[in-house]
Chains A and B, each alone.
Chain A
Amino acid sequence: MSSPAFLTDLTVTPHNEDAVTLDGVSAGYGEGPVLTDLSLRIHCGKLVGLLGPNGAGKTTVLRIAMGLLVPTAGQVAVLGRRLDSATDRSWVRLRIGYVPQVQAPPALPITVADSVLLGRWGCSFRFLRRPSREDRALVRETLGLVGMGELAARDLAALSGGQRQRAALARALARRPRLLLMDEPTTYLDQEAQRDLVQLIERLHAQLNITTVVVTHGREAGWRFDREIHLTNGGAA
């Protein structure tokens, strides 16, 4: 399906440090805190579910881990590095693959391959530094890994919801991340597509050993997480 060299490159060797640590973190968007004094720890190599009702702050936790939201109090460390400065935050962003919470198909026409290529932004190209041939080879291999090799030239908007999520997963993996953050990847899919995606993510997790955090509403999709973190009103359990 894909070359061994590529897989070796993508596979994360196990190590002992925590992938994400939040220590007494409070954060919000101006009007009152969304998270108060939240502490949590996500171990390396695990497949972790981040659960909670609408508005509990699940997406906010991911934004903090990516350094997109700076907490008002507390400490954050990701992949063994404390997020104190803008440099730290750019450092982790290069090592995180992120699948955003999406609803609608995009208004922009973009081929599946181009959308996956964007996952390499900042790693190997930016502005006048163009994507290389290796980047494109990597995109093809990653698409193969999620079973989307045939659809590389299609318009992203013309795919089914499940295929779009696979493309988004490929985009995140194209970054060769050490941490994978997925925000409600199964929410808008029908049951069969949900099951397929869950199986794919679990299989890839077992194969590649990348620490994976999946935000989800509940258990309807049949996830088998190594660990579940429940967020309720700013606290974790």
Chain B
Amino acid sequence: MSALIDMLAIPVIRNAFIGMLVAGATLSTLGVVIVSLHLMALRFTLMHVGLLGAAAGMSLGFSATAGAFVLVPVASVMMGMLGQRFRISASSMTGFFMTGSLAGAFLLLARAGVPAMDVFGIFAGNILMLRRLDVVLVVVLGLAVVLAFVIGYREIQAVLLDRDLALSLGVPVQAVVAGLFLLLGAAVALALRLVGALLVDAIILLPGMAALRFARGFGSALVLSSVFGVIACAGGFLVAVRFNLPIGASSAAVSSAILGLSAVVTRGR
């Protein structure tokens, strides 16, 4: 325990811990949105767009994070609006966006001669390279997510329950959907930075899925996904530091274990 406290005194480790803790507590609630709005395919596409953004950022000489942080929310809101406008399901747009982004990412990286190790960083995340700014970003986004649920609790609930119903009540459905997609995009971009492209789900999807196996109401689903998110991210972090394992993978393992256990415990429901 005291070894852990000593480690947390190291700024790099402390930044990483705060980043994971806040992300786990807040971004995880978006999993409930992903499942309720059937956005499984969308979030997968956003990860690929994140790669494109990171590649663009790197090859243009900005940071990978900046690239992803701009491109993913933009793409997210665009897909949300297109879906509403033309009544296309998010999943039928994914083929186009996913392959296109990945192709673009590889072309950009090859063209700019980005070293393979840096490219690997995008896939695996670089949590121990988090700077102050990254931590501030995570905290700001976490606050934004919490605020969105506090201010728009009933409105989000109505939209997730039934879009037509929400419209009939007079809920500003377009704005709510745009806001949710924006937060979702930003969350994917940041999770990319924390645990890498391949493990984004560990933060923003699995805790929510596990919560939905237990919850009988919207509020309890949000709270539970936050609790599971903290256990996965902070727990995974501590295990990783203690046993000298990669943090992203360790958190993803805890997250998967939580979902697996939830499935076992609630089987037959």
Residues of A within 8 A of B (CB): 66, 68, 90, 93-94, 96, 98, 100-102, 106-111, 114-115, 117-119, 121-122, 125-128, 131, 153-155, 158, 171
Contacts and interface: CB of A to CB of B under 8 A. Distances in A.
Interface of B: 32, 35-38, 151-152, 154-155, 157-158, 160-162, 164-165, 167-171, 212, 215-218, 220-221
22 contacts: A66-B168, A98-B165, A107-B38, A108-B218, A108-B221, A109-B212, A114-B218, A117-B154, A118-B154, A118-B158, A118-B169, A121-B154, A121-B155, A121-B158, A121-B169, A121-B170, A122-B170, A122-B171, A126-B154, A127-B155, A128-B151, A158-B216
Nearest to B167: A68
A86 to B, nearest CB: 10
Given A108-B36, A118-B157, A128-B151, A93 B169 contact: yes
A108 B168 contact: no
Contacts of A115: 161
Contacts of A121: 154-155, 158, 169-171
Contacts of B155: 121, 126-127
B168 A110 contact: no
A118 B216 contact: no
A47 B221 CA distance: 40
B217 to A, nearest CB: 5
Given A68-B167, A110-B157, 5 more contacts: A110-B218, A114-B218, A117-B154, A122-B171, A125-B154
Given A118-B165, A121-B154, A126-B155, A93 B217 contact: no
A101 B94 CA distance: 28
Contacts of B169: 93, 98, 118-119, 121-122
Contact of B152 (A100, A107, A127): A127
A93 B168 contact: yes
Contacts of B171: 121-122
Most chain B beta-carbon neighbours within 10 Å: one of A94, A102, A108, A171: A108
A223 to B, nearest CB: 22
Given A90-B170, A118-B165, A118-B169, A109 B217 contact: yes
A218 B257 CA distance: 51
Contacts of B164: 100-101
B217 A155 contact: yes
B-side binding surface: helix, strand, loop or mixed? helix
Contacts of B165: 98, 100, 118, 171
B167 A108 contact: no
A107 B216 CA distance: 11
Contacts of B221: 108-109
A108 B154 contact: no
B200 to A, nearest CB: 21
Nearest to B218: A110
Contacts of B154: 117-118, 121, 125-127, 131
B165 to A, nearest CB: 5
Given A107-B38, A109-B212, A114-B217, A68 B168 contact: yes
A110 B221 CA distance: 9
B80 to A, nearest CB: 17
Contacts of B162: 100, 102, 106
Nearest to A101: B164
A126 B152 CA distance: 8
Contact of A108 (B151, B160, B170): B160
B216 A154 contact: yes
B151 A110 contact: no
B176 to A, nearest CB: 10
Given A121-B154, A126-B155, A127-B155, A110 B170 contact: no
A106 B161 contact: yes
**4 residue pairs, one from A and one from B, having the closest CB atoms:** A98-B168, A108-B36, A155-B216, A108-B160
A70 to B, nearest CB: 13
A127 B35 contact: no
A156 B220 CA distance: 14
Contacts of B152: 127
Nearest to A131: B154
Contacts of A114: 157, 217-218
Contacts of A111: 216-217
Contact of A109 (B37, B151, B215): B215
Contacts of B38: 107
A67 to B, nearest CB: 9
